[in-house]
């Protein structure tokens, strides 16, 4: 009897142990599926739409992976020393997609082309080999010649004379030197020609030298004779070979402190509505006519040659201080309407304690300038309607303070950064060789647009 009881107990114990082991194995399997496998295979997400009946499951997004690089694909630059090979991602060269990686979100492309440093959405630096910048002009430095008519001064880069390096510019790739010595034309790696003052062409052209057409004026003030041929363009237009706008809005290093400022007190301390500094009273954009109409409905103090108020171009710091303390708005009106044409009239105002009112032919969002940073005249049917909105904000210090705070953490980097791109491109073996005739550039650069907001002059809105 005792033996039978022991056998029964032992059998029961074995059954319990075996059951526990089986349960444990099943539990570990589920943990593996949930924790380990899910790291590589994302489950189908459940998207929920909120309507009047509450939240409902909606299987309207069946695809869990964006695999092909589209127009809005993100560009990742792998910053690799020249002595290294490039196969860290198992990918090929420039513009290769993430398709082979089977990422949940693969709408990206990758490159090792250092000339893409400014345009890249991300740059990966390798810890053991952080050669992030070639700063000193070495023996293999690229020589850039600035082709300047003899009547012009030479300080466009803030650099000195012959063999001066890019050191002060702090470029990611700065192994370049610059000169204005025309005798170096044949040996130069690149020659920069100013659109408005091309001067006489070099006597002999080296096919290896890149000729760059640069222009920061609108098409209204640009001419180009037919005998010229260039390899790259360098302008304020986004689709230039070297994008060189009047400024690059960037995050201020002290942005946390800037956000904490008491902008309500700033708003309450201001005593005047709007200011405008202008020297060209007859611009193609008809900005003077627009402002005269605007003055029928609100106060605008005009400084410079076209108005009774004076501040002085050589007293910029004093003028800016006056704007910060006195005015709520500044008219950043361009002299011409053209694609992407936005000048220092906006970029110099953005960091100040004043809201710019913009008028141009550009799409500001396309240039990285969000609507919260400025008031666009094109959002209003007429100067009268614009005046109503500005006076409305003048009475609402809280709302005005919010506008100031929205742009409090930005500063504007110099347009000189475009020259960093030239240096990087010259060091890139994959940079394509291009050729633009004068006609090609004229067709691309286009013409000025007529202003599209002057209906009030003909009895319209």
Q: Give the residue numbers annotated as catalytic, written as ranges.
A: 217
Measured between alpha carbons, how far is residue 339 from residues 357, 360, 394, 427 in Å? 18, 9, 32, 30
Cβ-contact 93, 46 below 8 angstroms: no
Contacts of 10 (CB under 8 A, 6+ apart): none
Cβ-contact 345, 332 below 8 angstroms: yes
Q: Where are the beta strands (DSSP E) in 92-209?
A: 96-97, 108-111, 122-125, 142-147, 164-165, 176-179, 190-194
Maximum distance among all alpha carbons in the chain?
122
Picking from 336, 358, 363, the residue whose alpha carbon sits closest to that of residue 347 is 358
Q: Using the CB atoms, write b or e for 146-166: b if 16+ within 10 Å.
A: bbbeeeeeeebbebeeeebbb
H/E stretch holding 263 reads helix 263-269
257: left (phi over 0), alpha (psi -120 to 50) or beta: alpha
Is the four-CA dihedral 193, 195, 200, 203 of positive or negative sign?
positive
| Calpha distance 237→243 (Å, rounded) | 6
Q: Using the CB atoms, write b or e for 281-318: b if 16+ within 10 Å.
A: eebbbbbbbbbebbbebbebbbbbebbeeebeeeeeee
Cβ-contact 194, 145 below 8 angstroms: no
In whole angstroms, how large is the CA radius of gyration of the chain? Answer: 31
| Calpha distance 452→103 (Å, rounded) | 46
């Amino acid at each position: 009897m005792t033996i039978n009881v022991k056998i029964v107990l032992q059998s029961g114990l074995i059954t319990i142990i075996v059951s526990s082991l089986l349960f444990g194995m099943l539990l570990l399997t589920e943990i593996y599926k949930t924790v380990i496998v899910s790291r590589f295979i994302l489950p189908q997400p459940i998207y929920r739409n909120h309507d009047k009946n509450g939240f409902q499951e909606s299987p309207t997004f069946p695809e869990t992976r964006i695999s092909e690089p589209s127009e809005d694909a993100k560009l990742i630059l792998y910053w690799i020393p020249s002595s290294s090979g490039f196969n860290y991602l198992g990918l090929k060269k420039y513009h290769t997609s993430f398709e082979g990686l089977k990422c949940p979100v693969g709408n990206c492309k990758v490159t090792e082309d250092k000339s893409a440093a400014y345009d890249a959405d991300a740059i990966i630096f390798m810890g053991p080999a952080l050669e992030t910048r070639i700063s000193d002009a070495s023996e293999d430095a690229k020589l850039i010649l600035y082709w300047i008519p003899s009547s012009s001064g030479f300080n466009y880069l803030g650099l000195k004379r012959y063999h001066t390096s890019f050191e002060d510019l702090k470029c990611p790739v700065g192994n370049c030197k610059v000169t204005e010595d025309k005798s170096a034309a044949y040996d130069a790696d690149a020659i920069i020609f100013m659109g408005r003052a091309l001067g006489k062409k070099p006597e002999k052209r080296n096919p290896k030298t890149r000729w760059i057409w640069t222009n920061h004026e609108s098409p209204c003030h640009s001419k180009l004779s037919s005998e010229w041929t260039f390899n790259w363009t360098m302008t304020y237009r986004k689709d230039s070979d070297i994008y060189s706008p009047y400024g690059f809005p960037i995050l201020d290093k002290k942005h946390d402190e800037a956000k904490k400022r008491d902008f309500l007190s700033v708003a309450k301390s201001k005593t005047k509505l709007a200011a405008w500094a202008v020297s060209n009273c007859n611009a193609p954009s008809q900005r003077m006519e627009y402002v005269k109409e605007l003055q029928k409905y609100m106060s605008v103090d005009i400084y410079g040659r076209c108005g009774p108020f004076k501040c002085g171009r050589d007293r910029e710091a004093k003028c800016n201080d006056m704007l910060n303390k006195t005015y709520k708005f500044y008219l950043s009106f361009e002299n011409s309407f053209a694609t992407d044409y936005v000048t220092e009239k906006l970029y110099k105002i953005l960091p100040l304690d004043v809201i710019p009112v913009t008028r141009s032919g550009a799409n500001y969002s396309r240039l990285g300038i969000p609507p919260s940073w400025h008031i666009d005249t094109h959002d209003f049917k007429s100067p009268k309607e614009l005046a109503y909105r500005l006076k409305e904000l003048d009475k609402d210090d809280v709302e005005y303070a919010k506008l100031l705070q929205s742009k409090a953490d930005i500063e504007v980097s110099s347009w000189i950064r475009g020259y960093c791109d030239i240096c990087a491109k010259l060091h890139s073996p994959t940079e394509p060789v291009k050729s633009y005739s004068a006609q090609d550039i004229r067709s691309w650069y286009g013409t000025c647009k007529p202003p599209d907001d002057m209906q009030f002059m003909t009895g319209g809105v």
